[in-house]
Amino acid sequence: MSNNEEEIMKTKRILTMQDLSCVGQCSLTVALPILSRYGIETCVLPTAVLSNHTMFKGWSYLDLTPEIPVIYENWKNNNIKFDAFLLGYLGKAELMALAEKCFDEFSEDGAPVIIDPVFADNGKLYGGFDLNYVAEMRKLIKRADIILPNVTEACFLTETEYREEQGDEYIKELANKLFEMTGKTVIITGVESGGYIGEYILTEIMRAKKPTRKGTYVLLEKLPEKRHGTGDIFASVFTASYLGGKSLSDSCSLASRFVIDCLKNTDRAHFYGVNFEKVLNK
């Protein structure tokens, strides 16, 4: 990291809003150490406390939704503002209105909003989610500057039929539909092509003084295993890199490489996440 990037980082205060699993490498237990390690002042808004994440055979769940207005009132009294927002797993449709209230009341001028929708994968909704949740998320992402859905989430958000075999035109169609819904940068994650995996970025640039959509693939090696929490790791590293002044494609590349290194440094018996700490320490 250059001195200039370090200076940029020191000026940032980010709020990340997602659940807290007491055991399990995901959500806040991933976002907080990664963003902090990159030099960003990281503040958290836990939406729920779980004894452990849902890859275990049983878990407890404490809903913190009723406490959030109380937290907001104290932030207001203390004149607390944030330079950026990262939203991950929310879990309840009611939390989306509270997220919008947070953007309205606690944003510094120009504070970017990055939303990872986190509600589906492999063509199906996660347990506990329904189409009402998807409809509310469809509204919330309009407040984002960057959205990070995987292919399945992009399909649900755009009401597009999910396909196992996707192809270039299919991915571009999904990205364009999301761009038309939000008018902001779309990064579809988990895109596969020719034995590689990565992201498709669609953003708007000025070309000949006219706004033009630009699509870019960022693809790296595909490893055979999948692990819980890697999407949260990707979102955290991407956000840290982007806030540090990296381009969208460089931020995706760095985040993807970080996830790959995590997978390579994780023993197969370690079922509840990846050993991102080993990679972060480097």
Residue spans of the domains in the chain: they are 3-269
| 207 half-sphere exposure, CB direction, 13 A CA radius | 6
Structure confidence at residue 11 (pLDDT): 65
Q: Which residues pair with 135 in a beta bridge?
A: none
* 192 DSSP β-pair partners: 197
Question: In CATH, which superfamily holds the domain spanning 3-269?
Answer: Ribokinase (3.40.1190.20)
Tell me how far CA of residue 41 lies from CA of 19, 136, 275, in angstroms. Answer: 19, 29, 23
Alpha-carbon span 198 to 221, nearest angstrom: 8
Each of the 282 residues of the chain gets a pLDDT tens digit; together they read 555 555 544 568 999 999 999 998 999 999 999 999 999 999 999 999 999 887 788 889 999 999 999 999 999 999 999 999 999 999 999 999 999 999 999 999 999 999 999 999 999 999 889 999 999 999 999 999 999 999 999 999 999 999 988 999 999 999 999 999 999 999 999 999 888 999 999 999 878 788 889 999 999 999 987 888 899 999 999 999 999 999 999 999 999 999 999 999 998 888 888 999 999 987
Task: Give me 219's structure tokens.
Answer: 């693809």
Predicted model pTM:
0.93
Whether the CB-CB separation of 229 and 275 falls below 8 Å is answered with: no
Provide the token pair at 272.
């509840």
Cβ contacts of 106 within 8 Å, gap of 6 or more: 15, 72, 75, 76, 80, 81, 82
